[in-house]
Amino acid sequence: ILLLIAIYKMLEQLILVLTIIQVAVIAISTSLFIWILCEIWIYICSSQVIVAICIYIITNIVEIISLLCSYRLILYRK
């Protein structure tokens, strides 16, 4: 019985790690996608204002995703 509990706990940890990795991959791919879009946008009309707005949007999205990730972990632990 103790072995089963240990295996269950290990699986729980593994699922948690995989969830974190999944969220991280989604966050990175989303940022990259937005970054590529911004690069194209900057190439079309190279303006410092647009660059600043793009960087601001990217950082905000990354922050929102990390917040969602931590919130999800808090929910998962309960």
Helix (H) or strand (E) holding 38: helix 2-44
- Report the C-alpha dihedral over residues 20, 22, 23, 29, rounded to 10 degrees: 140
pLDDT tens digits along 22-67: 877 877 777 778 778 777 766 766 666 767 777 787 788 778 777 7
Task: Note the pLDDT of residue 3.
Answer: 82
Determine the pLDDT at residue 16.
Answer: 79
The pLDDT value recorded for residue 2 is 81
**Which tens digits make up the pLDDT trace of 6-24?**
888 888 888 878 887 787 7
CA distance 27 to 65: 6
Stronger pLDDT, 4 or 75, i.e. the higher one? 4
**Which residues have a Cβ under 8 Å from the Cβ of 22 and sit 6 or more positions away?**
none
